[in-house]
Amino acid sequence: PLVGSKGCIVVAVGVRVMYAVVLSMTFPLIHYALRETIMNLFFKPEQRTASVRWASTAVNITVAFFTALNVPNIWTPLQITGAVAAGLIGFVIPSMLHLSAPEEEKTLASKVQASLLFSLGFLVGAITIWQLFTGQLTG
């Protein structure tokens, strides 16, 4: 090894500590967006009380905790997240933005291109997820 056996242990512990720090810093940001989305999807504005927010928070943290305990390999969820994000950012969002533009700014060719790009984004994500679950793509 480059740093010796004791150095490897120090590096491994350091990586785990930094990973825990990063997760503890990003979780509140992600959780807030998730909670707001859940509140908007499932509750009417008059139902969004403090007790509902606390219950939603408790459920989200419980699900995250048990998921973390039961997922043996972190790379599988990261690959799924990456595949979905890449498909959305690279293919789906640009095509949806174009398709939602005013009609006078679009031609038939641009509509066809945007529709094909939209379909390609879902195809790329679906194939990647299928490969992950069938074991053809490993982390």
pLDDT at 9: 87
Shared domain for 35 and 85, answered yes or no, is no
Rounded average pLDDT over 16-20: 86
Q: What is the pLDDT of residues 67-93, one digit of tens each?
A: 878 888 877 777 778 878 888 888 888
Shared domain for 52 and 91, answered yes or no, is no
Shared domain for 60 and 77, answered yes or no, is no
Shared domain for 77 and 62, answered yes or no, is no
User: Above pLDDT 90, what percent of the chain?
Assistant: 14
Assessment of whether the complete model's pTM goes beyond 0.75: no
Rounded average pLDDT over 27-43: 89
Shared domain for 87 and 65, answered yes or no, is no
What does the mean pLDDT of the chain come to?
85
Looking at this protein, which amino acid is placed at residue 126?
A
pLDDT at 131: 82
Please determine, for residue 12, whether its predicted confidence score (pLDDT) is greater than 70.
yes
Which residue segment(s) compose the domain that 51 sits in? 1-70
Please determine, for residue 139, whether its predicted confidence score (pLDDT) is greater than 60.
no
- Number of structural domains in the chain: 2
Angle among Cα 117, 119, 123 to the nearest 5 degrees reads 115
Contact status, residue 121 vs residue 87, Cβ threshold 8 Å = yes
Shared domain for 64 and 77, answered yes or no, is no
Q: What is the DSSP letter of 72?
A: S
